[in-house]
């Protein structure tokens, strides 16, 4: 899936925002400040070592550095503002 929706609990509505750059499922996410990191997963053919970063204020995605290993169906743990 590439589409992304934002939920507004005040108005109880969903709004489409900028789509991810690549199709992916079975990924994990982490939020640091105004950025959402979408990490790994698969694209229905292969497991991924890619990551995309969504800037909430700019409504834009950018490509992040590749991970050293593919990751799909895994967990992300955040301590303060660092991935481990």
Asked whether residue 83 carries a pLDDT value surpassing 70, the answer given is no
Cα 24–chain centre separation: 9
In a domain, 81, yes or no: no
In a domain, 23, yes or no: yes
Domain assignment of residue 33, given as a range: 4-73
Separation of alpha carbons 52 and 38, rounded Å = 5
- Encode pLDDT of 24-45 as tens digits: 999 999 988 899 999 999 998 9
Question: Which pLDDT score is estimated for 84?
Answer: 54
Q: Count of domains in the chain? A: 1
In a domain, 79, yes or no: no
In a domain, 14, yes or no: yes
**Which residues, in sequence order, are CB contacts of 58 under 8 Å at separation 6+?**
none
Asked whether residue 81 carries a pLDDT value surpassing 70, the answer given is no
In a domain, 64, yes or no: yes
**Which residues, in sequence order, are CB contacts of 2 under 8 Å at separation 6+?**
19, 20, 21, 22, 23, 24
Q: How does strand 51-55 pair with strand 82-83? A: unpaired
- Encode pLDDT of 43-68 as tens digits: 989 999 999 999 999 999 999 999 99
């Amino acid at each position: 899936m590439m589409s992304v929706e934002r939920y507004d609990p005040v108005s109880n509505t969903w709004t489409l925002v900028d789509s991810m750059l690549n199709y992916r499922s079975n990924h994990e996410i982490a939020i640091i400040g105004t950025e959402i990191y979408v990490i790994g997963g698969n694209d229905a053919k292969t497991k991924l070592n890619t990551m995309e970063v969504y800037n909430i204020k700019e409504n834009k995605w950018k490509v992040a550095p590749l991970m050293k290993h593919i990751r799909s169906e895994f967990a992300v743990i955040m301590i303060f503002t660092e991935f481990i």
